[in-house]
Structure 1
Amino acid sequence: MIVVTGAAGFIGSNIVRMLNQQGRTDIIAVDDLSDGHKMFNLADLQIADYFDKDDFLEMVKSNQHFTDVEVMFHQGACSATTEWDGKYMMKNNYEYSKDLLAFCQNHRIPFIYASSASVYGGSEQFHESLEVEKPLNVYAYSKFQFDQYVRRIETPTAQIVGLRYFNVFGPFEQHKGSMASVAFHFNNQILDKGVCNLFEGDEEYGHGEQLRDFVYVEDVAKVNLWFWKNQAVSGIYNCGTGKARSFNDVANAVISYHGKGEINYIPFPEHLKGAYQNYTQADLGNLRKAGHTEEFTSLESAVAAYLAKLNA
Protein backbone atom coordinates (compact mmCIF):
# COMPACT_ATOMS: atom_id res chain seq x y z
CA MET A 1 0.00 0.00 0.00
CA ILE A 2 0.91 3.64 -0.55
CA VAL A 3 -0.49 6.33 1.77
CA VAL A 4 -1.12 9.84 0.44
CA THR A 5 -2.39 12.44 2.91
CA GLY A 6 -3.99 15.54 1.45
CA ALA A 7 -4.91 13.20 -1.41
CA ALA A 8 -7.88 15.30 -2.53
CA GLY A 9 -5.77 18.45 -2.46
CA PHE A 10 -3.70 20.08 -5.14
CA ILE A 11 -0.31 18.36 -4.91
CA GLY A 12 -1.66 15.21 -3.28
CA SER A 13 -4.11 14.50 -6.09
CA ASN A 14 -1.37 15.02 -8.66
CA ILE A 15 0.77 12.46 -6.83
CA VAL A 16 -2.13 9.98 -6.84
CA ARG A 17 -2.66 10.66 -10.55
CA MET A 18 1.00 10.01 -11.34
CA LEU A 19 0.94 6.80 -9.29
CA ASN A 20 -2.12 5.67 -11.28
CA GLN A 21 -0.25 6.41 -14.49
CA GLN A 22 2.49 4.09 -13.24
CA GLY A 23 -0.05 1.34 -12.62
CA ARG A 24 -0.45 1.80 -8.87
CA THR A 25 -3.99 1.79 -7.50
CA ASP A 26 -3.26 0.30 -4.05
CA ILE A 27 -3.43 3.76 -2.52
CA ILE A 28 -4.89 4.83 0.83
CA ALA A 29 -6.18 8.38 0.36
CA VAL A 30 -6.41 10.56 3.48
CA ASP A 31 -8.05 14.00 3.53
CA ASP A 32 -10.75 16.24 4.99
CA LEU A 33 -13.72 16.51 2.66
CA SER A 34 -15.61 19.08 4.70
CA ASP A 35 -15.31 21.02 1.46
CA GLY A 36 -16.94 18.40 -0.72
CA HIS A 37 -15.85 20.16 -3.90
CA LYS A 38 -12.39 18.64 -3.45
CA MET A 39 -13.83 15.23 -4.37
CA PHE A 40 -13.58 16.24 -8.02
CA ASN A 41 -9.78 15.96 -7.72
CA LEU A 42 -10.15 12.25 -6.90
CA ALA A 43 -13.28 11.39 -8.87
CA ASP A 44 -11.45 10.01 -11.92
CA LEU A 45 -8.64 8.35 -9.95
CA GLN A 46 -8.26 4.82 -8.63
CA ILE A 47 -7.64 4.29 -4.90
CA ALA A 48 -7.96 1.29 -2.58
CA ASP A 49 -9.53 3.16 0.35
CA TYR A 50 -10.29 6.60 1.79
CA PHE A 51 -10.03 7.81 5.39
CA ASP A 52 -10.91 11.12 6.97
CA LYS A 53 -7.76 12.74 8.33
CA ASP A 54 -9.00 12.68 11.95
CA ASP A 55 -10.01 9.02 11.75
CA PHE A 56 -6.67 8.15 10.18
CA LEU A 57 -4.82 9.96 12.96
CA GLU A 58 -6.69 7.92 15.58
CA MET A 59 -5.65 4.72 13.79
CA VAL A 60 -2.05 5.89 13.72
CA LYS A 61 -2.08 6.85 17.40
CA SER A 62 -3.51 3.45 18.35
CA ASN A 63 -0.61 1.96 16.39
CA GLN A 64 -2.77 0.20 13.83
CA HIS A 65 -0.40 -1.00 11.15
CA PHE A 66 -1.65 -1.00 7.59
CA THR A 67 -0.40 -4.04 5.72
CA ASP A 68 2.82 -3.48 3.81
CA VAL A 69 2.85 0.31 3.56
CA GLU A 70 5.68 1.08 1.14
CA VAL A 71 5.76 4.84 1.57
CA MET A 72 3.77 7.72 3.01
CA PHE A 73 3.50 10.94 1.01
CA HIS A 74 2.35 13.44 3.63
CA GLN A 75 0.91 16.38 1.71
CA GLY A 76 -1.99 17.28 3.99
CA ALA A 77 -1.87 20.64 5.78
CA CYS A 78 -3.61 23.95 6.19
CA SER A 79 -1.73 25.93 3.53
CA ALA A 80 -3.43 29.32 3.97
CA THR A 81 -0.65 31.84 4.54
CA THR A 82 -3.32 34.35 5.64
CA GLU A 83 -4.49 32.12 8.53
CA TRP A 84 -3.30 33.53 11.88
CA ASP A 85 -4.90 31.02 14.28
CA GLY A 86 -1.60 29.68 15.56
CA LYS A 87 -3.12 27.08 17.88
CA TYR A 88 -5.05 25.52 15.01
CA MET A 89 -2.10 25.75 12.61
CA MET A 90 0.37 24.09 14.97
CA LYS A 91 -2.05 21.27 15.84
CA ASN A 92 -3.01 20.65 12.22
CA ASN A 93 0.40 21.05 10.58
CA TYR A 94 2.99 20.41 13.28
CA GLU A 95 1.52 17.97 15.81
CA TYR A 96 -0.26 15.93 13.14
CA SER A 97 2.97 15.58 11.17
CA LYS A 98 4.88 14.47 14.27
CA ASP A 99 2.34 11.70 14.90
CA LEU A 100 2.55 10.42 11.34
CA LEU A 101 6.34 10.53 11.37
CA ALA A 102 6.45 8.54 14.62
CA PHE A 103 4.18 5.90 13.07
CA CYS A 104 6.41 5.66 10.00
CA GLN A 105 9.60 5.47 12.06
CA ASN A 106 8.10 2.77 14.27
CA HIS A 107 7.24 0.67 11.22
CA ARG A 108 10.27 1.62 9.07
CA ILE A 109 8.15 3.32 6.42
CA PRO A 110 9.69 6.00 4.15
CA PHE A 111 8.11 9.38 4.95
CA ILE A 112 8.13 12.10 2.27
CA TYR A 113 6.45 15.28 3.41
CA ALA A 114 5.53 18.74 2.19
CA SER A 115 7.62 21.52 3.68
CA SER A 116 7.47 25.01 2.18
CA ALA A 117 9.69 27.73 0.77
CA SER A 118 7.75 30.09 3.03
CA VAL A 119 10.18 29.10 5.82
CA TYR A 120 12.69 31.45 4.17
CA GLY A 121 10.28 34.35 4.65
CA GLY A 122 12.19 37.61 4.82
CA SER A 123 15.44 36.06 3.63
CA GLU A 124 16.95 36.63 0.20
CA GLN A 125 18.90 33.39 0.36
CA PHE A 126 17.20 30.07 -0.30
CA HIS A 127 19.43 27.20 0.71
CA GLU A 128 18.49 24.62 3.31
CA SER A 129 20.25 26.17 6.31
CA LEU A 130 18.88 27.43 9.62
CA GLU A 131 20.60 30.81 9.39
CA VAL A 132 18.54 31.87 6.33
CA GLU A 133 15.17 30.59 7.57
CA LYS A 134 12.97 33.49 8.69
CA PRO A 135 9.23 32.64 8.64
CA LEU A 136 6.91 35.62 8.28
CA ASN A 137 3.57 34.00 9.12
CA VAL A 138 2.25 31.21 11.32
CA TYR A 139 1.83 28.80 8.39
CA ALA A 140 5.52 29.18 7.60
CA TYR A 141 6.34 28.83 11.30
CA SER A 142 4.47 25.49 11.50
CA LYS A 143 6.49 24.16 8.55
CA PHE A 144 9.71 25.60 9.94
CA GLN A 145 9.22 23.94 13.31
CA PHE A 146 8.52 20.53 11.81
CA ASP A 147 11.69 20.80 9.73
CA GLN A 148 13.61 21.52 12.94
CA TYR A 149 11.97 18.50 14.58
CA VAL A 150 13.09 16.30 11.69
CA ARG A 151 16.63 17.68 11.85
CA ARG A 152 16.91 16.57 15.47
CA ILE A 153 16.34 12.90 14.58
CA GLU A 154 19.87 11.50 14.65
CA THR A 155 19.30 7.87 13.67
CA PRO A 156 16.15 7.49 11.56
CA THR A 157 14.87 3.95 10.98
CA ALA A 158 13.65 4.78 7.47
CA GLN A 159 13.91 7.53 4.86
CA ILE A 160 12.66 11.00 5.85
CA VAL A 161 12.47 13.65 3.13
CA GLY A 162 11.08 17.18 3.44
CA LEU A 163 10.41 19.04 0.19
CA ARG A 164 10.31 22.81 0.33
CA TYR A 165 7.82 23.66 -2.37
CA PHE A 166 8.19 27.04 -4.01
CA ASN A 167 5.30 28.59 -6.00
CA VAL A 168 3.54 25.49 -7.31
CA PHE A 169 0.88 25.84 -9.99
CA GLY A 170 -1.02 23.53 -12.30
CA PRO A 171 -4.12 21.34 -12.65
CA PHE A 172 -6.46 20.57 -9.73
CA GLU A 173 -5.83 23.65 -7.62
CA GLN A 174 -9.21 25.30 -8.24
CA HIS A 175 -10.57 24.40 -4.78
CA LYS A 176 -7.90 26.58 -3.15
CA GLY A 177 -9.86 29.74 -3.96
CA SER A 178 -7.82 32.85 -3.13
CA MET A 179 -4.79 30.65 -2.36
CA ALA A 180 -4.70 29.23 -5.90
CA SER A 181 -1.80 30.28 -8.12
CA VAL A 182 -1.58 33.56 -9.99
CA ALA A 183 -1.68 31.59 -13.26
CA PHE A 184 -5.13 30.28 -12.25
CA HIS A 185 -6.37 33.75 -11.29
CA PHE A 186 -4.88 35.46 -14.35
CA ASN A 187 -6.62 32.92 -16.59
CA ASN A 188 -9.98 33.66 -14.95
CA GLN A 189 -9.39 37.41 -15.13
CA ILE A 190 -8.58 37.27 -18.84
CA LEU A 191 -11.72 35.22 -19.51
CA ASP A 192 -13.83 37.58 -17.38
CA LYS A 193 -12.64 41.08 -18.27
CA GLY A 194 -9.56 40.66 -20.46
CA VAL A 195 -7.23 42.11 -17.82
CA CYS A 196 -4.64 40.59 -15.47
CA ASN A 197 -4.43 42.45 -12.14
CA LEU A 198 -0.92 42.63 -10.70
CA PHE A 199 0.41 44.40 -7.63
CA GLU A 200 2.20 47.69 -8.02
CA GLY A 201 5.85 47.77 -7.07
CA ASP A 202 7.84 49.75 -4.52
CA GLU A 203 11.23 51.41 -4.31
CA GLU A 204 12.89 48.00 -4.82
CA TYR A 205 10.65 46.30 -7.39
CA GLY A 206 8.83 47.76 -10.39
CA HIS A 207 5.15 47.14 -11.06
CA GLY A 208 4.58 43.40 -11.41
CA GLU A 209 8.31 42.74 -11.14
CA GLN A 210 8.24 40.88 -7.83
CA LEU A 211 10.04 37.59 -8.45
CA ARG A 212 9.03 34.05 -7.55
CA ASP A 213 10.20 30.55 -8.39
CA PHE A 214 7.13 29.19 -10.19
CA VAL A 215 7.21 25.37 -10.46
CA TYR A 216 4.79 23.12 -12.34
CA VAL A 217 2.90 20.65 -10.17
CA GLU A 218 3.71 17.67 -12.40
CA ASP A 219 7.41 18.33 -11.80
CA VAL A 220 6.72 18.44 -8.05
CA ALA A 221 4.97 15.06 -8.20
CA LYS A 222 7.93 13.64 -10.10
CA VAL A 223 10.35 14.83 -7.42
CA ASN A 224 8.25 13.11 -4.74
CA LEU A 225 8.31 9.83 -6.64
CA TRP A 226 12.03 10.17 -7.39
CA PHE A 227 12.84 10.28 -3.68
CA TRP A 228 10.64 7.23 -3.06
CA LYS A 229 12.67 5.35 -5.67
CA ASN A 230 15.91 6.55 -4.04
CA GLN A 231 15.37 5.59 -0.42
CA ALA A 232 19.02 5.87 0.56
CA VAL A 233 18.58 9.66 0.36
CA SER A 234 17.11 11.57 3.31
CA GLY A 235 17.05 15.26 4.23
CA ILE A 236 15.31 18.54 3.52
CA TYR A 237 15.44 19.76 -0.07
CA ASN A 238 14.22 22.71 -2.09
CA CYS A 239 11.68 21.86 -4.77
CA GLY A 240 11.56 24.63 -7.38
CA THR A 241 12.99 25.37 -10.81
CA GLY A 242 15.98 27.33 -9.55
CA LYS A 243 14.90 30.27 -11.74
CA ALA A 244 13.07 33.34 -10.43
CA ARG A 245 10.49 34.82 -12.79
CA SER A 246 8.32 37.91 -12.46
CA PHE A 247 4.55 38.10 -12.10
CA ASN A 248 4.65 40.05 -15.36
CA ASP A 249 6.19 36.96 -16.99
CA VAL A 250 3.30 34.79 -15.77
CA ALA A 251 0.70 37.31 -16.93
CA ASN A 252 2.34 37.59 -20.35
CA ALA A 253 2.40 33.79 -20.68
CA VAL A 254 -1.34 33.69 -19.93
CA ILE A 255 -2.03 36.55 -22.37
CA SER A 256 0.07 34.77 -25.01
CA TYR A 257 -1.92 31.57 -24.57
CA HIS A 258 -5.25 33.35 -25.01
CA GLY A 259 -3.98 35.68 -27.72
CA LYS A 260 -5.60 38.63 -25.96
CA GLY A 261 -5.57 40.67 -22.79
CA GLU A 262 -3.57 43.33 -20.99
CA ILE A 263 -2.02 44.01 -17.59
CA ASN A 264 -3.45 46.33 -14.94
CA TYR A 265 -1.54 47.29 -11.79
CA ILE A 266 -3.35 47.65 -8.47
CA PRO A 267 -2.18 49.04 -5.10
CA PHE A 268 -0.30 46.62 -2.87
CA PRO A 269 -2.68 45.33 -0.14
CA GLU A 270 -2.06 46.75 3.32
CA HIS A 271 -2.66 43.40 5.06
CA LEU A 272 0.21 41.77 3.14
CA LYS A 273 2.84 44.38 3.94
CA GLY A 274 5.58 42.86 6.09
CA ALA A 275 4.31 39.31 5.48
CA TYR A 276 5.02 38.94 1.77
CA GLN A 277 7.97 37.50 -0.12
CA ASN A 278 9.04 39.77 -2.98
CA TYR A 279 11.65 37.34 -4.22
CA THR A 280 12.18 33.57 -4.10
CA GLN A 281 14.51 31.34 -6.05
CA ALA A 282 15.27 27.77 -5.07
CA ASP A 283 18.91 26.87 -4.58
CA LEU A 284 19.00 23.39 -6.12
CA GLY A 285 22.55 22.56 -5.05
CA ASN A 286 21.56 19.96 -2.47
CA LEU A 287 18.87 18.42 -4.68
CA ARG A 288 21.42 17.94 -7.45
CA LYS A 289 24.00 16.54 -5.04
CA ALA A 290 21.38 14.03 -3.91
CA GLY A 291 21.29 12.73 -7.49
CA HIS A 292 18.18 14.36 -8.96
CA THR A 293 19.21 15.59 -12.42
CA GLU A 294 15.90 16.00 -14.29
CA GLU A 295 15.24 19.50 -15.61
CA PHE A 296 12.11 21.40 -14.62
CA THR A 297 9.50 22.58 -17.14
CA SER A 298 9.94 26.19 -18.30
CA LEU A 299 7.39 28.75 -17.13
CA GLU A 300 6.04 29.36 -20.63
CA SER A 301 5.68 25.65 -21.45
CA ALA A 302 4.10 24.89 -18.08
CA VAL A 303 1.56 27.75 -18.31
CA ALA A 304 0.56 26.65 -21.83
CA ALA A 305 0.15 23.01 -20.73
CA TYR A 306 -1.82 24.05 -17.65
CA LEU A 307 -4.19 26.39 -19.44
CA ALA A 308 -4.84 23.83 -22.17
CA LYS A 309 -6.15 21.49 -19.43
CA LEU A 310 -7.88 24.22 -17.45
CA ASN A 311 -9.80 25.54 -20.44
CA ALA A 312 -10.55 22.20 -22.10
Structure 2
Amino acid sequence: MSKNDLVVVTGAGGFIGGHLVRVLQERGHTKIRAVDVKPLAEWYQKTPGVENQVGDLALLEPCRKAAKDAAMIYNLAADMGGMGFIETHKAECMLSVLVSTHMLVAAKEAGVPRFFYSSSACVYNGDKQTDANVTALKEADAYPALP
Protein backbone atom coordinates (compact mmCIF):
# COMPACT_ATOMS: atom_id res chain seq x y z
CA MET A 1 0.00 0.00 0.00
CA SER A 2 1.33 3.42 -0.91
CA LYS A 3 0.80 6.78 0.80
CA ASN A 4 -1.38 7.75 -2.20
CA ASP A 5 -3.84 4.86 -1.73
CA LEU A 6 -7.19 5.68 -0.14
CA VAL A 7 -7.39 4.92 3.57
CA VAL A 8 -10.82 4.87 5.24
CA VAL A 9 -11.38 5.38 8.96
CA THR A 10 -14.85 4.61 10.30
CA GLY A 11 -15.79 6.03 13.67
CA ALA A 12 -13.66 9.02 12.68
CA GLY A 13 -15.84 11.45 14.62
CA GLY A 14 -14.83 9.82 17.89
CA PHE A 15 -11.76 10.37 20.05
CA ILE A 16 -9.63 7.46 18.79
CA GLY A 17 -10.84 7.63 15.18
CA GLY A 18 -10.23 11.37 15.00
CA HIS A 19 -6.70 10.96 16.29
CA LEU A 20 -6.04 8.08 13.87
CA VAL A 21 -7.08 10.26 10.91
CA ARG A 22 -4.71 13.02 12.04
CA VAL A 23 -1.80 10.60 12.57
CA LEU A 24 -2.34 8.97 9.15
CA GLN A 25 -2.17 12.41 7.54
CA GLU A 26 0.92 13.35 9.57
CA ARG A 27 2.57 10.13 8.33
CA GLY A 28 2.06 11.22 4.73
CA HIS A 29 -1.18 9.58 3.62
CA THR A 30 -2.69 11.85 0.98
CA LYS A 31 -6.12 10.23 0.51
CA ILE A 32 -8.09 9.72 3.69
CA ARG A 33 -11.84 9.26 4.02
CA ALA A 34 -13.20 9.84 7.52
CA VAL A 35 -16.68 8.42 8.21
CA ASP A 36 -19.02 8.71 11.18
CA VAL A 37 -22.76 8.66 11.91
CA LYS A 38 -22.58 11.90 13.90
CA PRO A 39 -23.13 15.26 12.18
CA LEU A 40 -19.78 16.94 11.39
CA ALA A 41 -20.41 19.60 14.03
CA GLU A 42 -20.35 16.86 16.70
CA TRP A 43 -17.07 15.20 15.62
CA TYR A 44 -14.35 15.19 18.26
CA GLN A 45 -11.96 16.66 15.69
CA LYS A 46 -11.81 17.18 11.94
CA THR A 47 -8.54 17.13 10.01
CA PRO A 48 -8.18 19.63 7.15
CA GLY A 49 -7.68 18.07 3.71
CA VAL A 50 -9.59 14.89 4.56
CA GLU A 51 -12.78 13.70 2.86
CA ASN A 52 -15.44 13.59 5.57
CA GLN A 53 -18.58 11.48 5.14
CA VAL A 54 -21.57 11.32 7.43
CA GLY A 55 -23.46 8.04 7.20
CA ASP A 56 -25.15 5.37 9.26
CA LEU A 57 -22.83 2.38 8.86
CA ALA A 58 -25.44 0.08 10.39
CA LEU A 59 -26.90 0.25 6.86
CA LEU A 60 -25.22 -1.43 3.90
CA GLU A 61 -25.41 1.42 1.35
CA PRO A 62 -23.44 3.95 3.45
CA CYS A 63 -20.85 1.19 4.02
CA ARG A 64 -20.54 0.70 0.27
CA LYS A 65 -20.06 4.45 -0.18
CA ALA A 66 -17.40 4.47 2.55
CA ALA A 67 -15.51 1.46 1.12
CA LYS A 68 -15.52 2.61 -2.52
CA ASP A 69 -11.97 2.68 -3.96
CA ALA A 70 -10.34 2.02 -0.55
CA ALA A 71 -7.03 0.19 -0.19
CA MET A 72 -7.29 0.02 3.61
CA ILE A 73 -10.16 0.32 6.07
CA TYR A 74 -9.75 0.93 9.79
CA ASN A 75 -13.15 -0.01 11.24
CA LEU A 76 -13.50 1.72 14.61
CA ALA A 77 -17.22 2.52 14.34
CA ALA A 78 -19.47 1.19 17.10
CA ASP A 79 -22.15 2.27 19.53
CA MET A 80 -20.35 2.41 22.84
CA GLY A 81 -19.33 4.88 25.47
CA GLY A 82 -17.92 3.16 28.49
CA MET A 83 -19.47 0.79 30.98
CA GLY A 84 -22.21 3.18 32.10
CA PHE A 85 -23.43 3.60 28.53
CA ILE A 86 -23.19 -0.11 27.81
CA GLU A 87 -25.17 -1.06 30.90
CA THR A 88 -28.01 1.32 29.99
CA HIS A 89 -27.94 0.82 26.19
CA LYS A 90 -27.40 -2.92 25.78
CA ALA A 91 -29.56 -3.33 22.66
CA GLU A 92 -27.92 -0.41 20.85
CA CYS A 93 -24.47 -1.79 21.65
CA MET A 94 -25.42 -5.26 20.40
CA LEU A 95 -26.60 -3.71 17.13
CA SER A 96 -23.02 -2.55 16.49
CA VAL A 97 -22.59 -5.99 14.94
CA LEU A 98 -24.46 -4.56 11.94
CA VAL A 99 -21.73 -1.96 11.41
CA SER A 100 -19.01 -4.61 11.52
CA THR A 101 -20.91 -7.00 9.27
CA HIS A 102 -21.93 -4.41 6.69
CA MET A 103 -18.45 -2.88 6.56
CA LEU A 104 -16.96 -6.34 5.94
CA VAL A 105 -19.52 -7.04 3.20
CA ALA A 106 -18.88 -3.66 1.56
CA ALA A 107 -15.10 -4.11 1.79
CA LYS A 108 -15.32 -7.56 0.19
CA GLU A 109 -17.59 -6.29 -2.60
CA ALA A 110 -15.21 -3.38 -3.27
CA GLY A 111 -12.16 -5.65 -3.27
CA VAL A 112 -10.49 -3.81 -0.38
CA PRO A 113 -7.26 -5.73 0.30
CA ARG A 114 -6.72 -4.66 3.93
CA PHE A 115 -9.25 -4.36 6.77
CA PHE A 116 -8.55 -3.63 10.44
CA TYR A 117 -11.23 -4.13 13.09
CA SER A 118 -10.81 -2.77 16.58
CA SER A 119 -12.86 -3.65 19.59
CA SER A 120 -12.72 -1.98 22.98
CA ALA A 121 -11.79 -2.87 26.54
CA CYS A 122 -15.52 -2.67 27.22
CA VAL A 123 -15.97 -6.21 25.86
CA TYR A 124 -13.60 -7.71 28.43
CA ASN A 125 -14.49 -9.13 31.81
CA GLY A 126 -14.56 -6.22 34.27
CA ASP A 127 -12.49 -8.20 36.78
CA LYS A 128 -9.62 -8.39 34.25
CA GLN A 129 -9.56 -4.58 34.09
CA THR A 130 -9.21 -3.91 37.82
CA ASP A 131 -6.04 -5.95 38.39
CA ALA A 132 -3.14 -3.49 38.39
CA ASN A 133 -0.77 -6.32 37.37
CA VAL A 134 -2.54 -6.95 34.02
CA THR A 135 -0.56 -5.09 31.38
CA ALA A 136 -2.46 -6.22 28.28
CA LEU A 137 -5.75 -7.92 27.53
CA LYS A 138 -5.89 -10.72 24.97
CA GLU A 139 -8.70 -12.35 23.01
CA ALA A 140 -8.97 -15.25 25.45
CA ASP A 141 -9.68 -12.73 28.24
CA ALA A 142 -13.00 -11.79 26.60
CA TYR A 143 -14.58 -14.97 27.99
CA PRO A 144 -16.52 -15.35 30.12
CA ALA A 145 -18.20 -12.23 28.80
CA LEU A 146 -18.77 -10.25 31.96
CA PRO A 147 -18.30 -6.62 30.83
- Shared fold per TM-score greater than 0.5: yes
Does the Cα contact within 8 Å between 1:119 and 1:133 map onto a contact in 2?
A: no
- Give the AA of the match of 2:84: T
- The separation in 1 between residues aligned to 2:39 and 2:55, in whole angstroms, is 11
Identity %: 27
Aligned-pair Cα RMSD in Å: 2.8
- The separation in 2 between residues aligned to 1:46 and 1:23, in whole angstroms, is 12
Tell me how far 1:71 sits from its aligned partner.
0.5
1:129 paired to 2:125: no
TM-score, normalised relative to structure 1: 0.37
Tell me how far 1:98 sits from its aligned partner.
0.9
SS in 1 for 2:122: helix
1:58 paired to 2:61: yes
Distance 1:21 1:95, change over 3 A: same
- The separation in 2 between residues aligned to 1:25 and 1:59, in whole angstroms, is 22
Tell me how far 1:110 sits from its aligned partner.
1.3
SS in 2 for 1:58: helix
Gapped runs of 5+ residues in structure 1?
A: 138-312
TM-score, normalised relative to structure 2: 0.71
**Structure 1 equivalent of residue 131 of structure 2:** none
Tell me how far 1:51 sits from its aligned partner.
1.7
What count of residue pairs does the alignment treat as equivalent?
130
> Moved runs in structure 1, 4+ residues, more than 4 A?
none
- The separation in 1 between residues aligned to 2:19 and 2:66, in whole angstroms, is 27
Give CA deviations for 1:277-308 in whole Å, capped at 9, x if unaligned.
xxxxxxxxxxxxxxxxxxxxxxxxxxxxxxxx
- The separation in 1 between residues aligned to 2:66 and 2:18, in whole angstroms, is 25
**Structure 2 equivalent of residue 2 of structure 1:** 7
- Rg larger for: 1
Tell me how far 1:97 sits from its aligned partner.
0.8
Gapped runs of 5+ residues in structure 2?
A: 1-5, 129-133
Tell me how far 1:127 sits from its aligned partner.
3.0
Give CA deviations for 1:245-273 in whole Å, capped at 9, x if unaligned.
xxxxxxxxxxxxxxxxxxxxxxxxxxxxx
Structure ranking higher on relative contact order (CA contacts 8 Å, 6+ apart): 2
Tell me how far 1:54 sits from its aligned partner.
1.6
Distance 1:30 1:71, change over 3 A: same
